[in-house]
Structure 1
Amino acid sequence: MKLLLTSGGVSNQSIREALCDLLGKPIAESTALCVPTAMYGMPGTAVMTWRQIAGQTPTPMVELGWKSVGMLELTALPSVDEQNWVPVVRETDALLVCGGDVLYLHHWMCESGLADLLPSLRETVYVGLSAGSMVMAPHVGEEFVGWKPAAGGDSALGMVEFSIFPHLDNPMCPQNTMAHAQKWASRMPVPGYAIDDATAIKVVDGAVEVVSEGQWKLFERWSS
């Protein structure tokens, strides 16, 4: 699977070009599935969930001019025969995984079976937004634990070897400063990237590349 892990969506030309490079063709010739599930782990988010699906947010994902866009709601999948959704996922060019609560998203990725499917999607482009990006990490950090899994902890999918601190210096997220990112990183067992909404992390076959028109910082693994 090819990953484009963003904080604020496909927010500038550099990130858009990185997406096209991963797709291997124009966005207008590519199909996508939107995964809005993470939003349901947060209070009072019904309107924002609809806006994400409808492409009416300041974090561009759905509204990029795709050939077609469908919706994949993870909470519904356990009640659906796999033959009704797995082929659709395998055939789509991009998964657009929206933001919200990262551990709620992780829970439903596992419960739905999507987490088990992801490693086999060699040509699919996974586009994460905020929590949709953070869920790929081994751990998210205690700062980002909202919805609490039954087993506790802050573990996520571990499909990459680093964690992500999103929305760096975003006025809507006053705690997401570089100073707070450094404190977060000091407690993480893996390297961490602090990225703003003009930055994305591109991962192909384990090779990591930062794509940015903004600010970001890599915190190497801290020694105890």
Structure 2
Amino acid sequence: MKLLLTSGGINNKSINDALVGMLGKPIADSNALCIPTAMYGHPWVGPGVKAWEFISGKEANPMVALGWKSVGVLELTALPSIGEDRWMPLVRETDVLLVAGGDALYLCYWMRQSGLADLLPSLQAVYVGMSAGSMVMAPSIGEFFVGWTPPNGGDEALGLVDFAMFPHLDHEMLPHNTMAAAERWAAGMQKPAYAIDDQTAIKVIDGAVEVVSEGHWKLFFALIVLR
């Protein structure tokens, strides 16, 4: 399983080079599917103009507009209403999944409802997440990031990696995403946790973790209390 977990998309050469290395071929020779679903659950981004901008490649954070051979749309909320034979072969054959930001728990819910969550570990495709699209891979996201509330409550995510993520560190448009806030958030997590800015990504290949960055980031280790 190959994951490229970004805060703000493919924002610099180091992250771009990491993506090409994971693909094993040029972006121009690779087929992509974009997943906008997380955007619908977040009041700042979608549905509406922002979702269209992501799908059409007009987004401010480069993902769809990188020069792919082809780009299709995989809308998770639609998948439960059609047969698996209509979409699973498409996902299995694609080279990369481009997963938008938005609300991580909303995305997690629809990944599970659609069946994509069960399929992900067996895929050969590179999974590229942005913000919530990255956070959803963690065991949990932390109370700081809970917006849309899942039917069963809580902040549990997919748990396909063994660490959590605090994206958009020190972003000028997000004054609450400071290092101090990240430290408080990390203190409540039960796993190692990364705070990363938009010039940073976390590459995971078969469980091996590597930080790719032209910006700044910090790894917080979980505090284990022995009783």
Residue equivalent to 1:169: 170
* CA distance in 1 between partners of 2:169 and 2:42 (Å): 20
Of 89, 105, 108 in structure 1, the residue corresponding to residue 107 of structure 2 is 105
SS of match in other structure, 1:87: helix
Deviations 1:108-133 (A, max 9, x none): 00000000111111x21000000000
Gaps of 5+ in 2: none
In the TM superposition, residue 43 of structure 1 has moved relative to its aligned partner by 2.5
Q: Are positions 1:71 and 2:87 aligned together?
A: no
Q: Secondary structure at the match of 1:15?
A: helix
Aligned to 1:131: 132
How far apart, in 2, do the equivalents of 1:42 and 1:85 lie? 25
Please list every run of at least 4 consecutive aligned residues from structure 1 whose deviation after the TM superposition is greater than 2 angstroms.
none
Q: Is the contact made by 1:27 and 1:64 (CA closer than 8 Å) also made in structure 2?
A: yes
- What residue in structure 2 maps to residue 36 of structure 1? 36
User: How far apart, in 1, do the equivalents of 2:35 and 2:150 lie?
Assistant: 20
The aligned amino acid for 2:106 is: Y
Counterpart in 2 of 1:92?
94
Contact kept, 8 Å, 1:35 with 1:95, in 2: the verdict is: yes
The answer to whether 1:201 aligns with 2:202 is yes
Say which SS state the counterpart of residue 70 (structure 1) adopts: strand
RMSD over aligned CA atoms reads 0.8
CA–CA distance in structure 2, aligned partners of residues 14 and 56 of structure 1: 22
Match of residue 116 from structure 1: 118
With structure 1 as the length reference, what TM-score do the two structures score? 0.98
1:58 alignment counterpart: 60
- Contact between 1:34 and 1:70, CA under 8 Å: does it hold in 2? yes
- How far off its partner does 1:29 sit? 0.3
Q: 1:221 and 2:222 equivalent?
A: yes
Task: Spell out, residue by residue over 1:37-82, the C-alpha distance to the aligned partner (whole angstroms, 9 max, x if none).
Answer: 0011022621111111111122100000000000000000001111
Q: Deviations over 1:83-129 (max 9, x none)?
A: 110000000000000000000000000000000111111x2100000
- Counterpart of 2:101, as a letter, is G
SS across alignment from 1:18: helix
**1:27 matched to which residue of 2?**
27
| Aligned partner letter, 2:200 | T
Alpha-carbon distance in structure 1 between the residues aligned to 2:30 and 2:172:
33
Q: Is the 8 A contact 1:185 1:222 kept in 2?
A: no
Q: How many residues align structurally?
A: 223
SS of residue in 2 equivalent to 1:57: coil
Q: Deviations over 1:18-48 (max 9, x none)?
A: 0000000000000000000001102262111
Match of 1:11 in 2: 11
TM-score by length of 2: 0.97
Return the alpha-carbon distance in structure 1 between the equivalents of residues 207 and 122 of structure 2.
15
- Percent of residue pairs identical: 67
